[in-house]
Amino acid sequence: MHNILLTGVNGQVGFELKRSLQGLGTVHAPGREGLDLTRPDAIRELVRALKPTLIVNPAAYTAVDKAESEAELAYAINATAAGVLAEEAKRLGVPLIHYSTDYVYSGEGSQPWREDDAVAPPNVYGASKLAGEEAIRASGCDHLILRTSWVYGARGKNFLLTMLKFGRERDSMSIVADQIGAPTWSRSIADITAHIVAGRPDWEGVSGVYHLVNAGETSWHGFAEAIFKLAAERGDKVPTTLAAIATEAYPTPAKRPKNSRLQLDKLHDTFGLVPPDWEEALKLCFDTVA
Catalytic residues: 125
User: What amino acid occupies position 289?
Assistant: V
Cβ neighbours of residue 179 under 8 Å, at least 6 residues apart?
Answer: 219, 220, 247, 256, 257, 258, 259, 260
Residue (of 109, 121, 271, 118) closest to 203 by Cα position? 271
Residue (of 189, 221, 193, 3) closest to 94 by Cα position? 3
- Per-position b or e across 217-233, b if 16+ CB within 10 A of its CB: bbbbbbbbbbbbebbee
Report CA-CA distances (Å) from 84 to 27, 140, 225: 20, 12, 42
Q: Judge residue 57's burial from the number of C-beta atoms within 10 Å of its C-beta, 0-12 exposed, 13-18 middle, 19 or more buried.
A: buried
